[in-house]
Copies of this chain bind each other. A is one copy, B any other.
Amino acid sequence: MIFHTFATMKLKAYKIAEMLGGVVEGNDQTSINKLSKIENGDEQSLSFLGNSKYNNFLYTSNASIILVDNDLKLEKPVKSTLIRVENPNESFSQLLNYFSDKKTNLSGISKNSIISKNVKFSDDLYFGDFSICEKNSEIGKNVKIHSQVYIGENVSIGNSVIIYPGVKIYADSVIGDNCILHAGCIIGSDGFGFNLDKEGKQIKVSHNGNVILEDNVEIGANCTLDRATLGSTILRKGVKLDNLVMVAHNVEIGESTVIAACVGIAGSSIIGKNCMIGGQAGISGHLKIGDRVMIQAKAGVFRNIKSDTSVMGIPAIKYLDYNKSYVHFKNLPAIMKSLNKLFKNSKDA
């Protein structure tokens, strides 16, 4: 097995201190090329001490540089170079974003890509190798479209959107500002609808609608979002989907609702705002789910749910009720033992 190093970027301690408005304690030429947890640090990494529970790691960490609080008092000598800052947590977040931005600092249109003639896009577009954008589509400013992406006809893509490798977007889709689409997700495939003919064979229902993602939506890897039969499948502002989520035709998901991995939502269901849906939960078709609803992992929702409710089970009932019943379910063998005595006594009586 070959071992790799993050060789692309090196940062020296004095430079980092400048960025963060901090002060170096130790060798200001110490360099790092990655970030790590304080307990896992190695010679090329920068860590931080953001919680006093981890103070002991300060003296044993192999991290080359550690961010610490201005006021921290050392109990022993430290082999790492320290950078003292006002708030190590915030400073570390700042560095995390810096490293991420560096990685996505991509620009230019690959000569091995295809953009149809009448597509509108901005000068700062990044468009990767073997990617395709069909005719009549529009792409906003500061957009990064990675390699092997497919964008169909009449697609509209907003500003500051990131589309990772292998994403497929069918015709007529609308992608809002600041959306992130992870590798392999499919936007706008046909909904699953059939009419039975006289011989009981399935006749396909045409899907002429589209998918609309409003601003700040994030779609996980290998998710699938079907286009509407008519009208639109809509994900409102700030909706976040984890990986392998299925959103069927004509579904509408309210603002800032967060959906964990492997969830399935059947056709025409309307989900409210600020809901949280746990992993592998499923929602039947044509339902109405209120706002701030919590659907526990693995729940199967077969009925409408009112706002501010938490549900669990198959079919899903109120979370607390499910748990109370489940306690007795687990206890059924013991209960039955006592009960069978009663039955016996009552027969004997």
Binding-face segment, A19-27, A51-59, A237-245: A237-245
Q: How long is the Cα–Cα vector from A120 to B333 in the complex, in angstroms? A: 63
Whether A300 contacts B280 by the Cβ 8 Å rule is yes
Residues of B within 8 A of A155 (CB): 4
Q: How long is the Cα–Cα vector from A280 to B222 in the complex, in angstroms? A: 16
Whether B96 contacts A157 by the Cβ 8 Å rule is no
Binding-face segment, A65-73, A75-83, A303-311, A338-346: A338-346
Whether A154 contacts B342 by the Cβ 8 Å rule is no
Interface residues of A: mostly helix, strand, loop or mixed?
loop
Proximity string of chain A (246-285) to chain B, C-beta cutoff 8 Å, 1 when within and 0 when not: 1010000000101011101010000000100001101010
- The chain B residue with its CB closest to the CB of A214 is B1
In-complex Cβ contact of A99 among B164, B194, B208 (8 A): B208
Whether A325 contacts B317 by the Cβ 8 Å rule is no
Whether B206 contacts A136 by the Cβ 8 Å rule is no
Residues of B within 8 A of A240 (CB): 192, 194, 202
Whether B150 contacts A208 by the Cβ 8 Å rule is no
Q: How long is the Cα–Cα vector from A51 to B239 in the complex, in angstroms? A: 34
In-complex Cβ contact of A114 among B129, B298, B317 (8 A): B129
Tell me, yes or no, whether A189 is within 8 Å of chain B by CB: yes
In-complex Cβ contact of A339 among B103, B170, B339 (8 A): B339
How many copies the complex holds: the figure is 3
Residues of B within 8 A of A335 (CB): 328, 336, 339
Whether B183 contacts A186 by the Cβ 8 Å rule is yes
Whether B256 contacts A206 by the Cβ 8 Å rule is no
Proximity string of chain A (160-190) to chain B, C-beta cutoff 8 Å, 1 when within and 0 when not: 0000111010111010110010111010011
Whether B172 contacts A1 by the Cβ 8 Å rule is no
- The chain B residue with its CB closest to the CB of A92 is B230
Whether A147 contacts B132 by the Cβ 8 Å rule is yes
Residues of B within 8 A of A302 (CB): 297
Q: How long is the Cα–Cα vector from A290 to B72 in the complex, in angstroms? A: 38
In-complex Cβ contact of A150 among B40, B165, B226, B230 (8 A): B165
Indicate whether A261 sits within 8 Å of B246 (C-beta atoms), given known contacts A1-B214, A8-B136, A325-B332.
Answer: yes
In-complex Cβ contact of A282 among B166, B297, B324 (8 A): B297
Proximity string of chain A (287-307) to chain B, C-beta cutoff 8 Å, 1 when within and 0 when not: 000000000011010100000
Residues of B within 8 A of A224 (CB): 184, 220-222, 243-244, 261
Whether B129 contacts A99 by the Cβ 8 Å rule is no
Given contacts A182-B190, A264-B280, 13 further A-B contacts (CB under 8 A): A1-B159, A8-B153, A96-B206, A130-B132, A180-B190, A183-B186, A184-B222, A202-B216, A202-B258, A222-B224, A222-B244, A224-B261, A342-B343
The 5 closest A-B pairs by CB, nearest first: A4-B156, A328-B332, A224-B243, A189-B221, A221-B224
Could you list which residues of chain A lie within 8 angstroms of chain B, going by C-beta atoms?
Answer: 1-8, 34-37, 40, 93, 96-97, 99-100, 103, 112, 114, 128-130, 132, 135-136, 138, 140, 146-148, 150, 153-159, 164-166, 168, 170-172, 174, 176-177, 180, 182-184, 186, 189-190, 192, 194, 200-202, 204, 206-208, 214-216, 218, 220-222, 224, 226, 230-231, 238, 240, 242-244, 246, 248, 256, 258, 260-262, 264, 266, 274, 279-280, 282, 284, 297-298, 300, 302, 313-315, 317, 321, 324-326, 328-333, 335-336, 338-339, 342-343, 345-346
